């Protein structure tokens, strides 16, 4: 503590003297004193602050999922109401946060934004969103696996792919905007993640209405 403070003070004094000339010395002392005081109080405050924060976080955290759980259907409803975009979350547990996407036929273009809310790297828990006709899902998925990680687990120039995001890892986001002209209202479409082994859990319906 004392050594760090001394070093800090020296560093401050040095920095200030380098910048400030005569004003440096008077400024450096007051600067060092307050910086020491908070440094000593903050460790003391940290344990109670953390302890307070933990239960404090728990309460909001409990309500937050409830809110977001409420929000998800609302988003779906909003999408059904005409929004030409949707946000989908993928996590480290190999899950999307929705089982269906609704694309209004009134949209010329539709945008899907994938947010990977996890922390795992793309090579271990990569996610994308691929849209195909339902009957093409298995074939596209198998060919994607064969194409490999470098191709984002989607075969290049695959005509069966109606839209796809990039393959992303934890903390990343990828958006794709595509024309709805190739989609038929009432058609049978799926969205899924083509990372090997993920599509079984990470898939859902694309409803065009
Ligand atoms: Cu995935």
116 and 186 assigned to the same domain: yes
108 and 194 assigned to the same domain: yes
Tell me whether residue 69 is in a domain: no
Distance from C-alpha of 40 to C-alpha of 141, rounded to nearest angstrom: 57
Q: Give the per-residue pLDDT at 81.
A: 54
Q: Total domain count for the chain?
A: 2
Q: How far is the CA of 22 from the centre of ligand 1 (A)?
A: 61
Tell me whether residue 75 is in a domain: no
Pick from 194, 191, 184, 196: nearest CA to 206: 191
CATH of the domain at 121: 2.60.40.420
45 and 96 assigned to the same domain: no
Q: How far is the CA of 112 from the centre of ligand 1 (A)?
A: 15
Tell me whether residue 147 is in a domain: yes
Q: pTM for this structure?
A: 0.63
Q: How far is the CA of 50 from the centre of ligand 1 (A)?
A: 34
Per-residue pLDDT of the chain (209 residues; tens, 9 = 90+): 333 433 333 333 333 333 333 443 343 344 333 433 343 434 434 343 333 443 434 444 344 344 443 433 444 433 445 799 999 999 999 999 999 999 999 999 999 999 999 999 999 999 999 999 999 999 999 999 999 999 999 999 999 999 999 999 999 999 999 999 989 999 999 999 999 999 999 999 999 99
169 and 126 assigned to the same domain: yes
98 and 159 assigned to the same domain: yes
Pick from 115, 69, 110, 138: nearest CA to 207: 110
Q: How far is the CA of 132 from the centre of ligand 1 (A)?
A: 16
Q: How far is the CA of 92 from the centre of ligand 1 (A)?
A: 9
How many helices (H) and strands (E) in the chain?
A: 4, 8
124 and 169 assigned to the same domain: yes
- Bridge partners of 163, per DSSP, are 131
40 and 89 assigned to the same domain: no
Distance from C-alpha of 59 to C-alpha of 62, rounded to nearest angstrom: 5
The count of other CB atoms within 10 Å of the CB of residue 193 is: 29
Tell me whether residue 126 is in a domain: yes
Of 61, 92, 109, the position where a domain reaches its end is 61
Q: How far is the CA of 164 from the centre of ligand 1 (A)?
A: 13
Tell me whether residue 79 is in a domain: no
pLDDT in tens, 160-200: 999 999 999 999 999 999 999 989 999 999 999 999 999 99
Residue ranges with strand state E in the chain: 85-90, 100-103, 109-116, 130-133, 163-164, 173-179, 189-192, 203-208
3-state secondary structure of 88: strand
Range of the domain at 184: 84-208
37 and 97 assigned to the same domain: no
179 and 91 assigned to the same domain: yes
Q: How far is the CA of 94 from the centre of ligand 1 (A)?
A: 6
In Å, how far are 4, 23, 136, 178, 192 from 33, measured between CA atoms? Answer: 13, 16, 69, 60, 59
Secondary element (H or E) of residue 46 = helix 24-80
Q: Give the per-residue pLDDT at 82.
A: 73
Q: How far is the CA of 83 from the centre of ligand 1 (A)?
A: 25
Q: How far is the CA of 95 from the centre of ligand 1 (A)?
A: 7
């Amino acid at each position: 503590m004392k050594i760090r403070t001394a070093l800090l003070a020296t560093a401050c004094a040095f920095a200030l003297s380098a910048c400030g000339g005569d004003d440096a010395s008077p400024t450096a002392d007051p600067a060092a004193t307050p910086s020491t005081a908070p440094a000593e109080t903050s460790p003391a405050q940290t344990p109670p602050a953390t302890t307070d924060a933990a239960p404090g976080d728990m309460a909001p955290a409990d309500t937050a999922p409830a809110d977001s759980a409420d929000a998800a259907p609302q988003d779906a409803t909003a999408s059904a109401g005409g929004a030409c975009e949707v946000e989908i979350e993928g996590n480290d547990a190999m899950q999307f946060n929705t089982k269906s996407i609704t694309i209004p036929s009134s949209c010329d273009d539709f945008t899907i934004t994938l947010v990977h809310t996890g922390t795992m790297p793309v090579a271990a828990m990569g996610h994308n969103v691929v849209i195909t006709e339902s009957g093409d899902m298995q074939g596209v998925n198998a060919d994607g696996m064969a194409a490999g990680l470098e191709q984002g687990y989607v075969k290049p120039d695959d005509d069966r792919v109606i839209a796809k995001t990039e393959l992303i890892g934890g903390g990343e986001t990828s958006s794709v905007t595509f024309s709805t002209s190739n989609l038929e209202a009432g058609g049978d479409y799926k969205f899924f993640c083509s990372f090997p082994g993920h599509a079984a859990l990470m898939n859902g319906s694309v409803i065009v209405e």
